[in-house]
Amino acid sequence: MISSRGFTAPQIEPPASDVIDWRRHIHAHPELSYKEHATSDFVVEKLTSFGLSPERPTETSVTVLIQGRRPGSTVALRADLDALPLQEETGGSFASTVNGVMHACGHDAHTAMLLGTARVRSGLTDSFDGAVTLIFQHAEETPPGGAKELVGQGVLEGVDAIFGVHMANQATCTISVRKGVTSTVAGGFFATIKGQGSHASMPQNCADPVLVAAQIGYDAAV
């Protein structure tokens, strides 16, 4: 038996083969940010087949609440749906069928794993207190993207903690968590480099903005 803070359930055989099949299906049919129509439809279809009632906070995202036996804390688990504008050349049996689009960042696996979680957890509603919210986020690859939209739609209201579902280079059947808050952000900035011209006979009086920019780029890379 597994027992921890209100959760008691028998050992469960994970739907590994189904998760692999779902991942390969999603991998073969990638969609870019804000265009995850077939992917989100696939997620809704699977969640519904588990007896759950998924919702669509936005056109191409999906959420579902799995309520436990009694009131308690709410934990959110989040995966992402979108692929990248890359051409797949792996030659794999389930390679992308969409020209110029590929799941090269693992979102296909993230989504499949969260679907597997939904399937298992949907059968354990009488074994835990509180609730679990599953979030299938759209447009993760396009900042500020789907996360900002979902927060604006209130999907995190009442959520006590949230965990992102990701893959890692670890042994099979292991799970890693990091204590405290973990977050990353993709962004950038613009810098204006002002140079100073000079006559070719007096290069020492010149501040060449091209050389300065090249040095900044080199230092940043090193």
Note if 41 is an active site residue.
no
Choosing from 82, 88, 108, 149, the catalytic residue is: 82
Token code pair at residue 103:
């799941």
Number of residues in the chain:
222
Q: Residue 178 is which amino acid?
A: R
Choosing from 36, 108, 140, 141, the catalytic residue is: 140
Note if 18 is an active site residue.
no
CA distance linking residue 81 with residue 97, whole number of Å: 16
- Residues serving a catalytic function are 82, 140
